[in-house]
Amino acid sequence: MEKINRNDLSDNIVNQIDTIEQKSNKKVEVYSEFEEHDTLTLDQATHVTGDEVIKVQITNEKYADFVLLHELYHIELEISDEPSINVSVTSGQTDVDGRILSTANAIFEALEHAKIVEKQVADGSLTDEVHEA
Ligand SMILES: [Zn+2]
């Protein structure tokens, strides 16, 4: 795992990191652990939020900007005041509850991604090349 220097990141990524650091009062650190990927998926960046530092790790080198920015938007949504979905539905049957919860999570993920994709079209990081990857 290698730490990526802020100077090596593109402007809109640095801006997004600044926004997160201001809102969260935490430092954002970016690490790379590049692996071979045949396809681009959205789990090629992950983050762990600690008490003082938010560590972001990316594994896709070719689309590093895209996956990193994507993850940073997730973090921004996570620390923003937007309402989170609280699933308090219970059916009395554990397996049904599990399905309700995973459906709710899937909907939430889809909504969150719709929002993020919108941002990535606006900032230009969702290029045609990324779209086709
Ligand atoms: Zn995502």
Is the separation of the CB atoms in 4 and 32 below 8 Å? Answer: yes
For every residue of 26-45, DSSP letters joined together read SEEEEEE-----SS--TTSE
Per-residue pLDDT of the chain (133 residues; tens, 9 = 90+): 899 999 999 999 999 999 999 999 999 999 999 999 989 988 899 999 999 999 999 999 999 999 999 999 999 988 886 666 666 667 888 888 888 888 888 888 888 889 998 999 999 999 888 888 7
Distance 110 CA to ligand 1 centre (A): 9
Task: Count structural domains, the chain.
Answer: 1
Structural domain of 16: 2-132
Quote the pTM value.
0.82
What's the CA-to-centroid distance between 130 and ligand 1, angstroms?
A: 14
Paired tokens of 6: 């802020």
Question: CA 111 to CA 68: how far, in whole Å?
Answer: 19
> Ligand 1 mean position to 120 CA, how many Å?
11
* CA 117 to centroid of ligand 1, rounded, Å: 9
SS3 51: coil
- b/e burial code for range 1-27 (CB count within 10 A of at least 16 → b): eeebeeeebeeebeebbeebeeebebe
